[in-house]
């Protein structure tokens, strides 16, 4: 909840308009204003436009119900949108619009889901949308941990990688200290010979 509250305070976008349409493969259709998502409240809220849920779906099983975000500065052809079969949308009572937010808190894409979830075949439904409740879900950007980059190997003048020197042995490291000790041991005189047996009486 706290990250969403911070985003709502820092985000330059406080609201986004939602549009929808019934799209046929044979003929394009225009977008209609469906409602407004308020991003300044926590949680985000949705306010339907007048007659925003009234949309004819009597167009056959090939019709697609699409929902789009009217992002500022983008033409209609560049609006992010998601869709389901129009017959499924007509049978549903609730839907969920999920917005994905950038690091600055601006929505950049969406996903759309119905409740109940669509079945395998189009049900027999009314000729218009009957959505009674719309839920809004905000997805914060995923936090990617920083990559631990390895230091590149040093290159020689010929462009080949310089191989590291092999680690020295104990004698190679400390020979200068061991040499005087060895010389002292070699130059030290042998122990005094012990005298013979005791003298006669």
Q: Reduce the secondary structure of the chain to three states and give it as a string.
A: CHHHHHHHHHCCCCEEEEEEEEECCCCCCCCEEEEEEECCCCCCEEEECCCCCCCECCCCCCCEEEEEEECCCCCHHHCCEEEEEHHHHHHCCEEEEEEEECCCCCEEEEEEEEECCCCCCCCCCCCECCCCEEEEEEECCCCCCCCCCCCCCCECCCCCECCCCCCCCHHHHHHHHHHHHHHHHHHCCCCCCCCCCCCCC
pLDDT reading at 6 higher than 60: no
pLDDT (average), residues 62-74: 90
Full-prediction pTM beyond 0.85?
no
pLDDT band at 159 (very low <50, low <70, confident <90, very high): confident
pLDDT at 53: 60
More confident residue, 128 or 178: 178
pLDDT (average), residues 75-87: 91
Q: What is the pLDDT of residues 88-104, one digit of tens each?
A: 888 888 999 999 988 87
């Amino acid at each position: 909840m706290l990250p969403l509250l911070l985003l709502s305070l820092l985000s330059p976008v406080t609201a986004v308009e939602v549009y929808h349409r019934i799209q046929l493969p044979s003929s394009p259709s225009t977008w209609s204003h469906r409602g407004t998502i308020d991003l300044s409240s926590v949680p985000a809220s949705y306010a339907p436009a007048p007659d925003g849920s009234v949309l004819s779906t009597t167009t056959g099983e090939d019709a697609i119900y699409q929902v789009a975000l009217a992002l500022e500065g983008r033409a209609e052809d560049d609006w992010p949108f998601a869709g389901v079969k129009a017959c499924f949308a007509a049978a549903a009572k609730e839907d969920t619009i999920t917005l994905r937010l950038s690091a600055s808190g601006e929505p950049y894409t969406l996903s759309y889901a119905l409740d109940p979830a669509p079945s395998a075949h189009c049900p027999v439904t009314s000729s218009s949308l009957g959505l009674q409740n719309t839920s809004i879900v905000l997805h914060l950007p995923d936090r990617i941990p920083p990559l631990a980059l390895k230091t590149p190997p040093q290159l020689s003048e010929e462009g080949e990688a310089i191989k590291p020197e092999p680690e020295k042995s104990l004698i190679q490291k400390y020979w200068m200290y061991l040499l005087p000790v060895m010389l002292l041991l070699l130059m030290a005189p042998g122990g005094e010979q012990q005298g013979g047996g005791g003298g006669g009486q």
